[in-house]
């Protein structure tokens, strides 16, 4: 993981606060670091044109940014940065919205948490319009096709992994981190450690229990001592890594003639969420807890209406068959 010790002290304190107090993941915090570095490089180059004339923004040291440069930022500076991000960096709406979200969090920290400045320069700035994206997912029939094609070496293990993905909506890092001790003795619940080490308990349905029981009968008993409690074991007798799980899923998708869909492991999480919402009529608040989302807005992308549902809704309109008299 890249260090952020070159950042100004106020930025370092903010990033440490995100990790130690708000329990954000290191990957999330590193994204904050990159977005803040891009912003303040733009600020100092704009503020000191003579000093940085002919210097590319990427060559400006983050350490060049002073506390005064940080606390003097105005709303106009942020508007100009968003314009620069759109025109010079070719950032789309989603990327600009993420950068603004980072700045909002940083200046909220300076105003509310630390009381270093009085006014938050991001407060009245509207977020750039995001491109509407629906998650890719397997249909119910495609999900069954993937499961039914699992055969050969490690079939019990791989079937159990795919079953957990499609029924519980796990992240790949969560699945790779499962221990035997995370499953209760009755095999009814699973203890999951998610982003930022946040923990949640998931219910195991019949399909999950059956798949896990079949796998545990053949699970290698010679796992290396450090991975003795790991649920899923690789051929090298280690805990299966995220990359190993990803590669296995890629291969299983190819074997089931679904490789042309260009699905990733994360799309199986999308599939689980979509199937639960579409067929289980799952309340979006329950879905949020199952998936381990912090914000409801993240979960709401799974509540998209399928083409079939949309057609059915429009066709159900009592005026749908009315034709003009000729």
Q: How many domains does the chain have?
A: 2
Answer yes or no: is 119 within a domain: no
pLDDT per residue rounded down to tens, the chain (326 residues)? 457 889 999 999 999 999 999 888 888 899 999 999 999 999 999 999 888 888 888 889 998 899 999 999 999 999 999 999 989 898 888 889 999 999 999 999 999 999 999 999 998 888 877 666 667 888 899 999 999 999 999 999 999 999 999 999 899 999 999 999 999 999 999 999 888 788 899 999 999 999 999 999 999 988 888 999 999 999 999 999 999 999 999 999 999 999 888 888 888 988 888 888 878 777 778 888 888 877 777 777 666 544 555 555 556 555 456 554 65
157-206 pLDDT, tens digit per residue, is: 999 999 999 999 899 999 999 999 999 999 999 999 888 788 899 999 99
- Report which of 247, 249, 229, 250 is spatially closest to residue 239, judged by C-alpha positions: 229
Containing domain of residue 280, as a range? Answer: 140-306
**Which CATH number belongs to the domain containing residue 166 in this structure?**
1.10.443.10
Answer yes or no: is 217 within a domain: yes
Answer yes or no: is 323 within a domain: no
Question: What is the 3-class SS of 59-108, one letter each residue?
Answer: HCCHHHCCHHHHHCCCHHHHHHHHHHHHHCCCCCHHHHHHHHHHHHHHHH
Buried b (16+ CB within 10 A) or exposed e, 292-318: bbeeeeebeebebeeeeeeeeeeeeee
Query: Cα–chain-centroid distance for residue 2?
Result: 20
Residues 302, 261 within the same domain: yes
Alpha-carbon dihedral angle through residues 29, 30, 35, 37, given to the nearest 10 degrees: 120
Kindly list the catalytic residues. 171, 195, 266, 269, 293, 302
């Amino acid at each position: 993981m890249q260090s952020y010790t070159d950042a100004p002290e106020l930025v370092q304190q903010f990033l440490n606060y995100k990790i130690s107090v708000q329990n954000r993941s290191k990957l999330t915090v590193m994204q904050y670091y990159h977005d803040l570095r891009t912003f303040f490089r733009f600020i100092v180059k704009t503020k000191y044109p003579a000093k940085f004339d002919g210097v590319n923004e990427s060559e400006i040291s983050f350490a060049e940014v002073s506390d005064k440069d940080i606390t003097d930022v105005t709303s106009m500076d942020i508007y100009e940065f968003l314009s620069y991000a759109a025109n010079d960096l070719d950032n789309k709406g989603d990327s600009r919205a993420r950068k603004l979200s980072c700045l909002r969090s940083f200046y909220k920290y300076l105003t509310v948490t630390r009381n270093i400045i009085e006014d938050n320069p991001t407060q009245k700035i509207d977020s750039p319009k995001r491109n509407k994206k629906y998650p890719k997912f397997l249909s119910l029939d495609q999900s069954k096709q993937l499961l039914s094609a699992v055969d050969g070496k490690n079939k019990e293990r791989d079937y159990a992994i795919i079953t957990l993905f499609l029924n519980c909506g796990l992240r790949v890092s969560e699945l790779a981190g499962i221990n035997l001790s995370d499953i209760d003795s009755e095999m009814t619940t699973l203890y999951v450690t998610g982003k930022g080490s946040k923990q949640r308990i998931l219910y195991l349905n019949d399909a999950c229990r059956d798949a896990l029981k079949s796998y545990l009968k053949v699970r290698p008993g010679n796992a290396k001592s450090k991975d003795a409690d790991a649920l899923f074991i690789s051929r090298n007798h280690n805990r299966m890594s995220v990359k190993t799980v990803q590669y296995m899923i890629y291969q299983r998708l190819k074997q089931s003639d679904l490789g042309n869909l260009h699905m990733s492991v994360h799309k199986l999480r999308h599939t689980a969420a979509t199937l639960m919402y579409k067929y289980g009529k799952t309340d979006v608040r329950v879905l949020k807890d199952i998936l381990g989302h912090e914000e409801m807005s993240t979960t709401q992308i799974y509540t998209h209406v399928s083409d079939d549902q949309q057609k059915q809704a429009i066709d159900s309109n009592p005026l749908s068959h009315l034709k003009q008299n000729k």
